[in-house]
Structure 1
């Protein structure tokens, strides 16, 4: 009896050991093997919409793309759920923009996923104007970020280096990121490298056409200055020779100081500004306050951090062209 029990126990131990060895072998497989077990598709997790769009456009039918930032959620404030953390750890590839979403950066560092692509490393980040203190929310340890010398209240959108992370709003820089993402997918899934290369070239071509539309459409305008609640458009302004004036940050509670309102009133009069822009994912309170005080119109200039039912377009290209139309109207394009 004791011999049979020992024999049975030995067989159970041997079976368990074999199962464990098998699981370890599976977990050690490369991304192509992982894709083969999922209908031949790579599981790509994107941190927020601009990264999601690249993964979907370049990956095409060969990837499954999940985004950590659901439509309507302000990406800077994202907190991950336990399920999202698990999904992140099980991803074949993670595409994100470092320093934009602290919760995502932390989770990626703990995920153990080797294929992590930081979009900030695929193009050159720049600073857009020195910081300047304004009245309002005081975030100790954070630098206010602004453009052309004007800071933001509320959230700080600078990277740790002080650079502006909003690279996707410049079609040229976004195209550079797209090329890097395409190369990363080709290396991660060489069986479909030709498709990724083709999709990358097609997307870059569309972004080049978008850049030409912006260049031509904003070449001759009555004014070069636009006012927006969120200083997200530094790259766009620099690319097309415009001047961005930001009111404050993204916090719905943040309001411009009386001094800032006066400064913007003077700028609006001097530079013949007609419109104060607000965005879809943040409060329009500050924009309407300034517009009311200065007798200006309001309109939407979308920083494209997420697509919702309120977005003026179904995807990146459509919304960017809506932004172009709004800027042409506000700046008096000829």
Structure 2
């Protein structure tokens, strides 16, 4: 082997070693660089980038998207087509939270993973925003079918189905955005006021739409409409409990059948993200038809493509409720 060849080989070995050491150093610093980047994002809100916001599921995503407008990048943590009560995020989905400044969640046991996130220490640069803060929650009538809700005190989490209480949730989101991004505070204030006006219109339309009805009782799939029923003076009989995936004892099914017959119910409601077979069976038993009453906990792929909103889905709910209650 001549001197030139030996030198070339030695040079190649040295180059390879340098590259390997650099790669190891780079990998060991990825997490530290991620934290540095997150700190940088946090410090430059309103100056160089949009506010980065994650909402735990569909209605909160809708509220945050409308308040944040063009100043915020908002996405739903819950994947399309999933039902949030029993959903747990994957490692990949948790990784996507890096760089997020606001995590908006409902509370009252709706997000089973949230306490682990908050206590992990991995999200010290993220602000967690509980949108039910300041809202008087109702006791869940069937907390025993959802361990997480029971662990959180057995309160009903379905606040967003009352448009007036949804206004408070919007206000809590607005305040959080203003705190993190004070430069655009007036922008968030104006957007929140505009969206609250739409919620007020929805509230008035529901009151008008349900003001002259022959019936006052409807059968929903799961117990998601207590706040709604209290607001508008109707009665909800549910098939499952506070979570739609709960097993239903035979005696509870029989109870619903008997009430439906006594109240001459002609519509049994299913949901958009659950198997409709149980609703179909009950409808056959009482001679009723099946319609969808969405608890607005998520949307499917088709609805996403159609860009269906919280307001769109509630107006569809109102249409179906008017049919069920035989409103004029």
Output the TM-score relative to the length of structure 1. Answer: 0.79
How many angstroms does 1:107 deviate by?
Answer: 2.2
Equivalences for residues 109-124 of structure 1 within 5 A: 109-110=119-120, 111-124=123-136
Of residues 320-329 and 179-188 in structure 1, the stretch that sits farther from structure 2 once superposed is: 179-188
Distance across 1 between alignment mates of 2:224 and 2:37: 44
Q: Which has the higher helix share?
A: 2
Q: How many residues align?
A: 293
Q: Which runs of 5+ in 1 are unaligned?
A: 1-20, 132-141, 145-153
Could you give the per-residue CA deviations for residues 167-192 of structure 1, whole angstroms, max 9, x where no partner exists? 11100000111011111111111111
1:254 is aligned to: 247
1:33 to 31, 40, 44: 44
2:211 is aligned to: 219
Do residues 60 (structure 1) and 69 (structure 2) align?
yes
SS of the residue corresponding to residue 143 of structure 1 reads helix
Could you give the per-residue CA deviations for residues 256-293 of structure 1, whole angstroms, max 9, x where no partner exists? 51x33332232122222111000011111211111111
Structure number with larger C-alpha Rg: 2
Q: Which runs of 5+ in 2 are unaligned?
A: 1-31
1:149 is aligned to: none
SS of the residue corresponding to residue 94 of structure 1 reads strand
Distance across 1 between alignment mates of 2:230 and 2:249: 24
1:324 to 302, 315, 318: 318
Equivalences for residues 28-177 of structure 1 within 5 A: 28=39, 31-34=42-45, 36=47, 39-98=48-107, 99-110=109-120, 111-129=123-141, 131=142, 143-144=144-145, 160-177=152-169
Instruction: Indicate the RMSD between aligned Cα atoms, in angstroms.
Output: 2.8
How many angstroms does 1:80 deviate by?
Answer: 1.4
Output the TM-score relative to the length of structure 2. Answer: 0.81
Runs of 4+ more than 6 Å apart:
21-26
Distance across 1 between alignment mates of 2:157 and 2:256: 25
Assess if the C-alpha contact under 8 Å between 2:56 and 2:76 holds in 1: yes
Aligned pair in 2 of structure 1 residues 24, 120: CA closer, same or farther (>3 Å)?
closer
